[in-house]
Amino acid sequence: MSSRRSRISEEEIAELLSKLQSLLPEARRRGTSRASSAKLLKETCNYIKSLHREVDDLSDRLSEMMATMDMDSAQAEIIRSLFRP
Amino acid sequence: MESKSSTTGNRDNPNRNLHGSKTMMASHFLRALFRIQQTSTSSSSAGRSRRIRRAAYASMAYSAGTRRAWSRALLRKLRSRARLRFPRRLSRAATPQRRDMDQAQVLRKLVPGGPSMDDCKLLEETADYIRFLTTQVRLMQTVMDSVSS
């Protein structure tokens, strides 16, 4: 990453990369040591793509369920589980 | 919904901004879901699915507000009624000079508003975008689990 860097130090970039790394799920962190920022960025891209796919998939499934279920009665249960500690 | 526990101590707690947003996200998304169910009795499952997907990104963007470049970009797309498309298979870039640059470019296509961000901003925005995305996914899973039990 070099083309569009503002006046930020290498250290700050490294810190941001490390923060990013901590957001990846455990399995994707393997092999993404500080030395390989390219690998970390690649894993980040893959992770975001998989999250986009999950949103698509969950939307499909929610849509199917909507046809058959009564959301009014499910409403209380949904809200309960959302705000469970 | 559990929040990922912070490992950065009290310095720049990444969950500080997220907590209030989660409530907004949930209420926005739920209201959208109920509305979709009320108004789409005859439409196809695919049409409903597209509306639900759109509602998911909308509740992410509204709960993040205008303080982030990615959410501003998403809000703009939503308001212009443009189709929300995120590249899945990115075409092979021309031979990159360095592999690092290639991946940053790929990332720019995945994060809303990416193309206009410098490297540093891209990393910050990506981290925030991932936090909101994972929260939205968990929210949708919770709704699924609640109604299928």
Contact A45, B110 (CB under 8 A): yes
In a domain, A2, yes or no: no
In a domain, A51, yes or no: yes
User: Within its chain, how far is the Cα of A62 from the centroid?
Assistant: 20
When divided into structural domains, chain A yields a total of 1
B87, closest residue in chain A (CA to CA): A49
In a domain, A4, yes or no: no
Question: Which letter, b or e, does each residue of B98-109 get, where b requires 16 or more Cβ atoms within 10 Å of its Cβ?
Answer: eebbbbbbbbbe
In a domain, A30, yes or no: yes
The model's pLDDT over A10-64, given as tens digits with 9 standing for 90+, comes to: 888 888 888 898 999 877 776 655 557 888 899 999 999 999 999 999 999 999 8
The model's pLDDT over B56-71, given as tens digits with 9 standing for 90+, comes to: 999 999 999 999 999 9
Contact B52 A62 (CB under 8 A): yes
The model's pLDDT over A61-78, given as tens digits with 9 standing for 90+, comes to: 999 888 877 777 777 777
In a domain, A70, yes or no: yes
Write out chain B residues lying below 8 Å of A77, CB-based.
Answer: 146-147, 149
In a domain, A68, yes or no: yes
Which ipTM value was assigned to this complex?
0.81
Higher pLDDT, B78 or B97: B78
Range of the domain at A64: 10-82
Please give the single-letter amino acid code of residue A67.
A
Task: Return the SS3 of A43.
Answer: helix
In a domain, A3, yes or no: no
A41, closest residue in chain B (CA to CA): B103
In a domain, A78, yes or no: yes
pLDDT at B82 (0 to 100): 82
Which residues, including other chains, have CB under 8 Å from residue B148's CB and lie 6 or more apart? A65
Tell whether A14 lies on the interface with B, counting CB pairs under 8 A: no
